[in-house]
Amino acid sequence: MLVVDPITAPANFSAFAALSRSSTPFNDVAIRHPLRPLSALPSFDETPQRTVPHRAAAPTWRRARDGLPDEALLLFGDAAVSGSSLRKPQDLTFSTLLNCCASLGAVRELHGYMIRRTGGNARTCCSESSLVSFYAKCGFLSQARKVFDQMPEIDTVAWAVMLKAYADGGHYRSEMMHLFVEMLYEAIAPNSHTLSLMLSNATPDLGEQLHASAVKWALDSDAFVGSSLVHFYSRNGSLGLAQLLFDRIPQTDVVCYNCLISKYGRAGITEGLISLYSKMCSKELMPNQSTFVGLLGGCAHSGLIGLSKQFHAQAIVQGFGFDEVVQVILVDMYAKCGDIESGRTAFDMSTVKQNVAIWNSLICGYGKHGRSLEALRVFYFMESASVHPDHITFTCLLSACSHSGFADDGRRLFCAMQERYGVPAREEHYSCMVDLFGRAGMVREAYELLSRSACKLGPSVWGALLSACKLHGDSTIGEIAAQKLFELEPECSGSYVALSNIYSAGKQWREANAVRELMDERNISKDAGHSWIEVGGMVHRFRAGSGSLDHKLFQPCASSDRVAAVSAVGSSQLLPDPAPKSSTNRIPSFNPRDPSVYRLDFSSNFGGGFRCKKRNSSFSSRLMRMH
């Protein structure tokens, strides 16, 4: 393959023009080669005869200049006004100019000019496909469909453009499906891009039909279609089938790996995470930000601290240790895995302290660990750092106050959220407040708060109120909350069981039996819960009385064995070597509280960690006083 550098190419074009002994339009266009777009306009201005090739090429080169598409339109307007040299504009000219338009008015003017100059007969599919795309991006889908229906010839590209317009619209799934069926009736076979677009917006039933059609059209082995099928089945919970299709794709890319990693992570299937990451390393595919977001998020869902530290080390090795999204999810991951101190260290070492999400992760982590005073203190550090809180911040704060019984502090925060910070109360805020009042024994106050609410309340709010009524034996308000839940979630067994227990605790046996009979009539049963424990890097799930747990795990061992087992936590070699060609290197054990792994001199912006041994009500009141 011949590679032409920017110095040789203009010299050759100039030599060709000199050899021709004449200045033709095509020689002039050749001199203004795209390799030198910035020198195109002066040469264009010096051209004595400006014909269609000139006026088709000049806007393209002008647009190549940074942020100057308006001048391309001015050049074309000057050509349209100046004379008869632009009698038959090329379709390439229209397509180029449509890409330069930044407003709906400019597109409409150009559209009208196209109709006037071509008489409505010479319009081609290329330019009108661009029109359809631009009208759709501006939100005028009806105008886009009108242009599409008036096209003289519709090829596969035009069908794909219109289908994508409906897909991007968000609320036009039925129109998109009807258009796809119309395309099939026109005997136009979809290509891989069209089929991938349909799979990304398909319902479960339609997706299976599209899968069968892909096999019929021999497109199931295509990389685009295969990846879309993996996305479709993983999105609908069929991880086994998604993995099977993934294994059949001849060439899988990082995007496809990231899709499965994300789904395995949300399902808490750590074996799938390890297997997929191992395959990525063996195929020498470079992980990206989404890869580690999926891996670390999966560790957060599973609660495996040892595996979490190893993936954190991998993120540092691959150069994503200081990525903004990764830093946020690290704090959340360590908090959910029970190591809030490592989460605080990851926060202190972060470089994105102007991001409200990382503050929210730390506040939420302290709240879940029952350290509400630390959560409140982080909130005031956040305020002093000029980071404006959002609705998630107050959800975390109210939840922390609820878990620690800070009823007065939570009430003040709820009022300040709306009055001082301008954050409207949402369903999750009311749910936290109901839980807060319920733990404090103020069930009546919780119900009155909901009665004054202006927003629509969902099952989480009424479920919290029902739990409070169960805790304090309030059958009157409990009946109201349960009735709301019966309407919102008629098939949820929890509300029926809770109401029955409230009646039983109050010795209202007739009412309790009536609730149980109602469950039988509606064929509703309560599923048994299960627990899990991590031992030796393996997750063991069990239920009460099931006998499924290996009792050898709890056999007594020598104290030296216990010390060795404890010291080995977090250093088991579960992951592959990041460099497959060198099998001697192993993944090092990683301590996120050791600043030396980052090779930076670290000093916390907010000092060391702070601990409160016991609650001081006067200190809490001073802490919550708004400045």
Could you report the per-residue pLDDT of 214-238, keeping only the tens digit for each?
888 888 778 788 888 888 888 888 8
Averaged over 58-63, what is the pLDDT? 45
pTM (2 decimals)?
A: 0.62
Question: If you write DSSP's letter for every residue of 56-112 in order, what string do you get?
Answer: HHHHHHHHHSTT-HHHHHHHHHHHHHH-STTSS--HHHHHHHHHH--SHHHHHHHHH
Tokens of 289: 């930000």
Q: How does residue 527 score in pLDDT terms, banded at 50, 70 and 90?
A: low
Report pLDDT for 549. 57
| Secondary structure element (H or E) that encloses residue 531, with its range | strand 531-535
Report pLDDT for 115. 57
Question: If you write DSSP's letter for every residue of 419-475 in order, what string do you get?
Answer: HTS-----HHHHHHHHHHHHHTT-HHHHHHHHHT--SPP-HHHHHHHHHHHHHHT-H
CB atoms within 10 A of CB 208: 16
Averaged over 536-540, what is the pLDDT? 64
Give domain status of residue 266, yes or no.
Answer: no
559-606 tens-digit pLDDT:
445 444 434 444 434 444 444 444 433 334 445 444 443 333 333 333
Map tokens 């050749």 to a residue: 30
Tokens of 66: 């940074």
**Residue 540 pLDDT greater than 80, yes or no:** no
Report pLDDT for 500. 84
Rounded CA-CA distance 348/332 in Å is 13
Averaged over 412-418, what is the pLDDT? 92
Give domain status of residue 42, yes or no.
Answer: yes
115-137 tens-digit pLDDT:
555 555 445 545 566 677 667 66
Rounded CA-CA distance 36/47 in Å is 17
Greater confidence (12 vs 250) lies with: 250
Q: How does residue 374 score in pLDDT terms, banded at 50, 70 and 90?
A: very high
Q: Indicate the range of 15-24, 92-101, 290-299, 494-503 predicted with least confidence.
A: 15-24
Among the residues of 138-203, which ranges form H helices? 141-149, 156-169, 173-185, 192-200
Averaged over 7-28, what is the pLDDT? 42
Give domain status of residue 5, yes or no.
Answer: yes
Report pLDDT for 344. 94
Q: Indicate the range of 353-367, 440-454, 513-527, 529-543 predicted with least confidence.
A: 529-543
Tokens of 415: 């009022």
153-210 tens-digit pLDDT:
777 777 877 888 777 766 677 777 887 888 888 777 788 888 888 888 788 888 888 8
Rounded CA-CA distance 281/624 in Å is 50
Rounded CA-CA distance 115/237 in Å is 50
Cβ(118)–Cβ(150) under 8 Å? no
Q: How does residue 70 score in pLDDT terms, banded at 50, 70 and 90?
A: very low
Give domain status of residue 115, yes or no.
Answer: yes
Q: How does residue 86 score in pLDDT terms, banded at 50, 70 and 90?
A: very low
Give domain status of residue 13, yes or no.
Answer: yes
Q: What residues does 534 pair with on adjacent strands?
A: 539
**Residue 19 pLDDT greater than 50, yes or no:** no
Report pLDDT for 116. 55
Rounded CA-CA distance 578/233 in Å is 29
Report pLDDT for 543. 67
Cβ(516)–Cβ(500) under 8 Å? yes
Q: How does residue 416 score in pLDDT terms, banded at 50, 70 and 90?
A: very high
Give domain status of residue 497, yes or no.
Answer: no
Greater confidence (111 vs 481) lies with: 481
Rounded CA-CA distance 434/430 in Å is 6
Give domain status of residue 52, yes or no.
Answer: yes
305-333 tens-digit pLDDT:
888 899 999 999 989 988 999 999 999 99
Overall domain count for the chain: 1
Q: How does residue 365 score in pLDDT terms, banded at 50, 70 and 90?
A: very high
Question: 70 is in which domain, residue-wise?
Answer: 1-123
Greater confidence (202 vs 539) lies with: 202
Q: How does residue 617 score in pLDDT terms, banded at 50, 70 and 90?
A: very low
Q: How does residue 95 score in pLDDT terms, banded at 50, 70 and 90?
A: low
What Cα–Cα distance (Å) separates residue 325 from each residue in 296, 313, 346, 368, 379? 11, 16, 13, 21, 20
**Residue 57 pLDDT greater than 60, yes or no:** no
Which of 95-104, 183-192, 335-344, 609-618 has the largest mean confidence?
Answer: 335-344
Report pLDDT for 428. 92
Backbone phi, then psi, for 119, in 5-degree steps? 70, 15
Give domain status of residue 362, yes or no.
Answer: no
Percent of the chain with pLDDT over 70: 61
458-509 tens-digit pLDDT:
888 988 888 888 888 888 888 888 888 888 887 777 778 888 888 888 888 8
Report how far Cα 438 is from the mean position of its chain's Cα atoms: 34
